[in-house]
């Protein structure tokens, strides 16, 4: 049953982040009308969906954003919005809260202004800090997120401490994958063994820091060694972070881009969509799309001779085309050393838990009690 919908309502943006998977401000896409968005939300609600995440582009760039939030709220969705904060005025923050938005994710790639602006553009750092303050004053539940690349990985721990000093207890870091605009900076992608070493070192720093003991710190895991991977059970994971087979079996998450294309995972954006809701209904695509079948086992020759493929489920179906376009094999795999987990699998250091979505691992606190 469908649980979570990521609704991409515009590809217009006030920033041009180097790694944007949607190629916002570069790839021009048609947008849904307000009435089309209402129809989408009604259909999703009818399929059992409970969580709507409003994304872009920059969602606040739409003049009807308050109406969109209010309509989603009228259907009793748990609503979260992802924003760079550049358009979040005090008036808008209060209006969003009154319309029914309680949770907001704001992007901050580093405590270091130079590093943050290298990735997101000149002048974005101070506007982000202002947006965070405005959101907190408006009583919105704030989560900060970063994108992990070679550029900022050495500053992530200090960024987490910086976020905590701002009074925020919820933080996420996403493992950069070279899709969309990110293809132009693929050299900033962190390779498997380097990422695994970084991830393990970061977890030690977090666990040894008393200042962070009450903070949800959700870092995408990416990889495991072969011994550890055998202990990971994704059967109860929600979302698409449990891997392609889990996504195929559960079908509890979809993303709908503003041009109507519907996908089973953010990693699928450069592949054939499940369908387009401008041409077919959401419910019909959800129930009948043949593209779901591409998430099943690939039968890649490299995996056929591997006795441990049950651990990784033959890896990510989409990553082979990011690293080696001629391969059907997830080349992140390093036999007997590194298992390629779903690149968006979540881990929360606060409760030592793994999940397929942030909601799987989030520990409730005053800042996220509406975010579950």
In degrees and rounded to multiples of 5, residue 340 shows phi and psi of: -80, 105
Question: How many other CB atoms are there within 10 angstroms of residue 311's CB atom?
Answer: 19
251/273 Cα distance (integer angstroms)? 14
Neighbouring CB atoms inside 10 A of 75's CB total: 17
Q: How far is CA 78 from CA 51, 62, 101, 104, 111, in A?
A: 5, 20, 8, 11, 30
pLDDT in the model for residue 369: 59
- Where the chain has pLDDT below 70, the residues are 324-327, 366-372
Report how far residue 230's alpha carbon sits from residue 308's, in angstroms, rounded to the nearest whole number: 9
Say what the pLDDT of residue 246 is.
93
Q: Are the CB atoms for 85 and 132 separated by under 8 Å?
A: yes
- The residues, ordered by sequence, that sit 6+ positions from 213 with a Cβ below 8 Å of its Cβ are none
Q: Give DSSP secondary structure letters for 41-79.
A: HHHHHHTT--EEEEESS-GGGSTTHHHHHHHHHHTT-EE
CA-angle at 334, arms to 346 and 360, nearest 5°:
10
165 backbone φψ class: left, alpha, beta (φ>0; ψ -120 to 50): alpha
Q: How many CB atoms lie within 10 A of CB 201?
A: 12
Nearest to 5, CA basis, from 355, 293, 347, 285: 285
CB proximity list for 66: less than 8 A, separation 6 or greater: 95, 96, 99
Cα distance between residue 279 and residue 30, in whole Å: 14
- 177-180, Cβ contacts within 8 angstroms, sequence gap of 24 or more: 177/21, 177/267, 177/319, 177/322, 177/343, 178/19, 178/322, 179/21, 179/267, 179/269, 179/270, 179/322, 180/19, 180/20, 180/21, 180/22, 180/23, 180/27, 180/269, 180/270
d(CA 229, CA 48): 32
Going by their DSSP bridges, the two strands 103-107 and 338-340 should be labelled as: unpaired
Indicate the pairing of strand 78-83 with strand 261-263: unpaired
Q: End-to-end CA distance of the chain, in Å? A: 17
Residue 336 has what pLDDT? Answer: 86
Alpha helices in the chain (DSSP H): 34-46, 65-74, 90-99, 113-120, 124-137, 156-165, 192-207, 226-229, 244-250, 282-288, 301-304, 309-312, 320-323, 358-361
Residue of 54, 148, 119 lying closest to 343 (CA atoms):
148
């Amino acid at each position: 049953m469908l649980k979570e919908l990521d609704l991409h309502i515009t590809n217009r943006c006030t920033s041009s982040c180097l790694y944007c998977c949607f190629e916002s401000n570069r790839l021009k896409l048609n947008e849904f009308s307000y009435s089309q968005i209402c129809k989408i939300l009604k259909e999703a609600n009818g399929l059992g969906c409970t969580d709507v995440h409003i994304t872009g582009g920059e969602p606040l760039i739409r003049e009807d954003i308050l109406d969109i939030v209010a309509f989603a709220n009228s259907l009793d969705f748990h609503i979260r919005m992802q924003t760079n904060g550049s358009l979040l005025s005090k008036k808008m923050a209060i209006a969003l809260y009154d319309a029914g938005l309680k949770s907001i994710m704001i992007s901050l790639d580093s405590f270091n202004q130079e590093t943050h602006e290298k990735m997101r553009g000149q002048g974005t750092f101070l506007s982000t800090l202002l947006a965070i303050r405005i959101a907190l004053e408006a009583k919105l539940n704030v989560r900060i997120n970063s994108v992990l690349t070679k550029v900022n990985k050495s500053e992530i721990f200090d960024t987490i401490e910086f976020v905590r000093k701002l009074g925020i207890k919820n933080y996420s870091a996403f493992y950069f994958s070279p899709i969309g605009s990110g293809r132009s900076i693929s050299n900033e992608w962190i390779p498997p063994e380097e990422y695994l070493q970084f991830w393990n070192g970061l977890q030690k720093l977090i666990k040894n820091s008393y200042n962070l003991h009450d903070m949800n710190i959700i870092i995408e895991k990416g990889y495991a060694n072969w011994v550890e991977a055998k202990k990971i059970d994704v059967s109860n994971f929600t979302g698409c972070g449990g891997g392609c087979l889990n996504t195929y079996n559960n079908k509890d998450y979809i993303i709908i881009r503003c041009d109507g294309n519907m996908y089973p995972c953010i990693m699928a954006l450069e592949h054939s969509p499940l369908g387009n809701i401008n041409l077919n209904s959401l419910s019909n695509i959800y129930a009948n799309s043949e593209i779901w079948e591409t998430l099943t086992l690939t039968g890649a020759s490299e995996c056929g001779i591997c006795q441990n493929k049950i651990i990784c489920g033959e890896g990510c179906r989409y990553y082979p085309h990011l690293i080696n376009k001629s391969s059907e094999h997830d080349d992140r795999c390093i036999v007997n050393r590194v298992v390629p987990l779903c690149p968006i699998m979540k881990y929360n250091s606060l409760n030592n838990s793994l999940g397929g979505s942030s909601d799987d691992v989030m520990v409730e606190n005053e800042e996220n009690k509406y975010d579950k």
